[in-house]
């Protein structure tokens, strides 16, 4: 279980309309956004720290390219509110090229709950860096989603396998993996 010492900051990574583009292929966990919205509601009700990242790709063909006015928009279900902080980035990690680490230090945040898109890209990279930087890191397994992929020698991997593999690699070494229900249950017991 989580055993939160204090309410962690909730990090919502890159839940943007560009991830609905068919170029990404098939995706797992269609409930991810609804689970993130449940967590957002809880954090907002508790006046907790909420941090968004927004991917602004420099790759011209990316649906998340910084000039793509639609693709870079947050999905309606999780749009940040006016006073919630957004860090824009153009690489996978929310810590690189942003003020995220400085912000966490200034706010004396020592633990984070990570959600968003996609598991094999920004979620994995940001989670690894969060753990390496010494933050108590929780990753929401059903508050993230992965996409299918083919490896360097042509082997196909479905989205669910990619998602589960990434979670297995992150568990214990970089983060504690929890479900939305586990987190909400932990918070309601405090």
The domain spanning residue 131 has which CATH number?
3.40.50.850
Please list, in sequence order, all residues whose beta carbon lies within 8 angstroms of the beta carbon of residue 9, skipping any fewer than 6 positions away.
48, 49, 50, 51, 104, 107, 109, 111, 112, 113
- Please indicate, yes or no, if residue 150 is contained in any of the structural domains: yes
Residue 3 in domain:
no
The CA dihedral of 136, 15, 140, 179, to the nearest 10 degrees, is: 150
For position 2, what pLDDT does the model report?
Answer: 65
Query: Within a domain: residue 78?
Result: yes
pLDDT given at position 190: 76
d(CA 161, CA 30): 15
Q: Is residue 182 part of a domain?
A: yes
In a domain, 50, yes or no: yes
Q: Is residue 115 part of a domain?
A: yes
- Predicted pLDDT of residue 70: 92
Q: What is the pLDDT of residue 26?
A: 98
- Examine residue 4 and state whether it is found in any structural domain, yes or no: no
Domain of residue 38 covers 9-188
Would you say residue 2 lies in a domain?
A: no
Domains contained in the chain, number: 1
Tokens matching residue 101:
């680490």
Enter the pTM of the model: 0.96
What's the pLDDT at 139?
Answer: 98
pLDDT at residue number 4: 77
- pLDDT per residue, tens digit, the chain (190 aa), is 566 778 999 999 999 999 999 999 999 999 999 999 999 999 999 999 999 999 999 999 999 999 998 999 999 999 999 999 999 999 999 999 999 999 999 999 999 999 999 999 999 999 999 999 999 999 999 999 999 999 999 999 999 999 999 999 999 999 999 999 999 999 988 7
């Amino acid at each position: 279980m989580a055993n939160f010492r204090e309410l962690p900051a909730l990090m919502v990574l890159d839940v943007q309309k560009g991830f609905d583009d068919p170029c990404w292929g098939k995706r797992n966990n269609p409930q991810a956004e609804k689970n993130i919205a449940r967590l957002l509601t809880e954090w907002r009700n508790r006046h907790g720290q909420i941090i968004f990242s927004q991917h602004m790709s420099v790759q011209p063909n990316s649906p998340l390219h910084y000039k793509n006015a639609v693709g870079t928009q947050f999905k309606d279900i999780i749009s940040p509110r006016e006073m919630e902080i957004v860090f824009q980035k153009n690489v996978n990690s929310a810590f690189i090229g942003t003020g995220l680490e400085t912000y966490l230090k200034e706010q004396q945040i020592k633990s984070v709950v990570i959600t968003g898109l996609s598991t094999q890209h920004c979620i994995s990279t940001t989670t690894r860096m969060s753990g390496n930087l010494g933050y108590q890191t929780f990753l929401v397994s059903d508050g993230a989603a992965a996409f299918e992929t083919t490896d360097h020698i042509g082997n196909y991997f479905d989205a669910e396998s990619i998602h589960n593999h990434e979670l297995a690699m992150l568990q214990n070494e970089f983060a504690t993996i929890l479900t939305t229900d586990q987190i909400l249950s932990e918070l309601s017991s405090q």
